[in-house]
Amino acid sequence: MANLYNGKMAAIYDAMYQNFIDNDEEFNFYNNLIQDYHGKTVLEIGSGSGNLSKRFLAHNTTYIGLDYSESMIAIAQERNKKGIFLQVT
């Protein structure tokens, strides 16, 4: 299980996630939550390939994503140069 989202599985997960979840709806939900706190920094645990990060970054939010998978972090970093992505073990 530890290596489930490494290597080729990361790319498969990423491709599936693009159509499985409405990323705009998910972003709007979380963005509405943090507005009450005037949040400008978001820490996402289990950030995967960074699908939400690009939306937060587009709204001038500092974004930090944590994920267990080195491959997922690599995908997220490639797509979102302004985000901070860290692998946690």
pTM comes to: 0.74
Q: Does residue 86 register a pLDDT over 90?
A: yes
Q: What does CATH list as the number for 8-87?
A: 3.40.50.150
Sign of CA dihedral 75, 63, 67, 23: negative
pLDDT tens, residue by residue, 58-70: 888 899 999 999 9
Each domain of the chain, given as residue ranges in start order, spans 8-87
The secondary element (H helix, E strand) that includes residue 14 is helix 8-20
